[in-house]
Each structure stands twice: as C-alpha cells, then as structure tokens.
Amino acid sequence: MSGFYLPARFVVVSEYQGKPILIDDTCYSLSFDEEWKAYLICALLNHPKVSQFLASITFSDSKRPVTKGLLERIELKAVYEQAYLDELTNIATDSIGASVNSDSTAIDKQLVLFEDGE
C-alpha cells in the first residue's frame, strides 16, 4: 500500500507475466510464504473497520498520511475475531478476486497467523 494516498487501499502483489513486480520506497509491503495468507490479511486490512480506524487517525494534509507507526497500530487479530466470515468473503471477492474459505478447518488454520509462536 502506498503511504501517500488516502483512503488506504491494500492489494496483493505477486508477479506479472512471470516476472516480479518491484515497489518503491513510498509503499509498505508484507511478505507471506503462502498465497492464501496474503489474501486473508489483505481482506482484513480492507475491512471497513480498519478503513474507519485509519481515517480517524490520519491527517489528509500530511505529506505521508499513512506511516509505518500508524499501520503498526492495526490489531489484525481483533479485526479477524470481530468480522463475520461472510463479510470477509465479500471484501476478498470484491477487492482481490479471491474468496476466503469459511469452513471451520480453514478458520483454525487462519487463526494460527495470530499466535505468538510460543
């Protein structure tokens, strides 16, 4: 996502015609070992509650309204726990063309992302 533009919009970036896509220093990125994790986190970051939160703590007249510190304040586990799976499915389908699996084994698999690794 670009730190220069509001509203913040998160997307999954992979490759184009078999070649990697490079982003510059105006963008923030996360990397994932598995593609489904990228789509899940993208759906969470595009959730209306996250958008509302970001809108409430950003200053539109700033040179870079979205900063690393601001992004670190997003509690993804809380968003995940509060969001309805059908809402996440709609967000994922609309914003990135993928659907989030809503069966219980997928939910357990997805919750592992938020564990502390103990």
Count of beta carbons in the 10 Å neighbourhood of residue 93: 13
Query: Which pLDDT score is estimated for 100?
Result: 44
| Residue that wins the pLDDT comparison between 99 and 58 | 58
Q: How far is CA 91 from the centre of its chain?
A: 11
Please state, rounded to an integer, the average pLDDT across all residues of the chain. 76
Q: Mind listing the pLDDT tens digit for each residue in 71-107?
A: 889 998 888 877 766 566 677 666 655 444 444 555 5
Q: Does the pLDDT value for residue 49 go beyond 80? A: yes
Stretch (H or E) spanning 19: strand 19-20
Q: Does the pLDDT value for residue 2 go beyond 80? A: no
Q: Which residue has the tokens 């809380």?
A: 78
**pTM of the full structure:** 0.64
